[in-house]
Structure 1
Amino acid sequence: MKLLGLETIDVAGVASRVYSFAKAPEEAHERVLVTGGPGAGKTRLLETIIAAREVLVTGQRSMSQDSFIQPEHDTSKVILSWQLTAEEQATIGAPRPAVTTEIIFCREEDDPEEVRMSFLLERYAHNDETPKFEYFSERRRLDVGGGEASLDEEEQRYLRTDPSPRKFSWLPIFIDRLQDEPRQAARFASSIERFSPSCSYDTKRHMFTSRGRVLRSLHELSASEADAVIFSATAALVGLSNSIVLVDRPELHGIDPARALSGLSGLGVDNQLILATSSRTFAAGFDGAIVDLDRDAASNRGQG
């Protein structure tokens, strides 16, 4: 499952227009970069995708979704276009790989297409075969405080699009259990190597090292190393493949852009990455779709 793009109509904080992630009518780019300066609406676009997906799954409107409606309007609309795999097509009886769903904030609408897509999006299991929607917000941080979250699927499923900094409170218990999960440990270790030139995880001794120095606790990780741990642990725990992965500011904690792209691309098989950043370094030579919100805003002003 991938996103071919979306169209927004009267959504607060987002220009009403089509945002294309497609390289062909029924084929989406595996990498999408949303760029623009501060305040251009990069985070808001990611939030809009997530909010529309939540309405599609739950069929319910929440107070937070009211914030996506412009004050002068009673409703707003998001049209999501999806690229499905052959298995997903067969599951819901879709005649073509491209499927469109229409989400209206402020009221519910039952449509056969939406019901079928809701079934696909509701599926959840900790394996690489089950597609997921994963959101790494700009508020992400390594949470090693109290109140650890469970690793159980039923609790984890509600964290996938959670923007809260407490989303990763399960990390300490995940690290502790790696010694009993050799496959997860190996995946976790190789993923960290792609992200970080300084940090590694020893799967035999079950400990972290940074520039050759053994770390006694997660507190000793640098900011970029901690970000590598967050990305890698998530992929190893939930089985992050065949999924849509949204990342706000992949450069947030200082990971080198080339390493960030390598690490994110290696989280799993056949993922679609949708990245939002103001960093022009990411845009230079980027292999995929680029949605430049600054350029689009300037073009709209020129037309006006």
Structure 2
Amino acid sequence: MPGAGEALVRVVAAGINRADLLQRQGHYPPPPGADDVLGMECSGYISALGPDTTDGRWTVGDPCLALLASGGYAEHVVVPVGQLLSVPDGVDLITAAGLVEVAATVVSNFDIADVGEGDVVLIHGGAGGIGSMAVQYAKALGATVATTAGSPDKLAYCRSIGADLAISYRHDWIAAVRDLSNRRGVDVILDVMGATYLGEHVGLLATGGRLVVIGLQGGRQGTLDLGRLLTVRGRVIATTLRSRPVQEKSAICRRVEEAVWPLVGDGSIAPAPQSRFSLADVVSAHSHLESGDNLGKVVLTVSKP
């Protein structure tokens, strides 16, 4: 049962993220005190409220979304009430389960990087969950967006959601991005690769550019050209979401509701396509995400909406 400041949620659907794959492989343990059960986002209905949750916002039976440290791959999960979110207008609960982690990741990092009107932004993996949210949110903020992907259908999808440049990472994406910026360089890079592209990313930064590292798919150790960074007065920022304290996660959830959900509600941001699997078929779901063939998000269905 939920404790003080917590809610018990009956899970309808849970989003799958690459962090789940890493945790399963033993490379990304949950924060201290968190459950070992996988799953960092879910949708569902409030089944019970613990003490000190009587602020009037939530009642038993309400539909909700939840940003989790762990535990989403289950029929029920306990979550701090501050990490509950409303469901965006016009979005069903299964679709919405795949929006929570990507929206929280993108809005928190774009706030840190101060993405705004006129910026040139580079986003790798624009056809994935985080990438598709980042492309659309950057466009909504008035940025020019370059993105990479690995297949013609994924590149076409990136263009369909507003990317100004969508190029295969197997081609000379560095030259293409430079051309897009009129040789000025990139203002913000949302980097899921880490070490693999560290040199290229620092070399692409415009004066005052910000490299925001949120993933290490390409390794964790690289060589940083400090001279180049000094020359452009650039910044390298590294962030993670999962291990933040409840107060910070709660503030991010409120920011998502304020900044992202209205854009989802009015159609400015469209939820990414989803591949859906039942909770009993979670092995196949992970295999599908690992294959690299997935477009958009992978979601587990747990119970009836």
TM-score under structure 1 length normalisation: 0.28
Give the TM-score, by structure 2 length: 0.28
Give the number of the structure with larger relative contact order, counting CA–CA contacts within 8 Å between residues 6 or more apart.
1
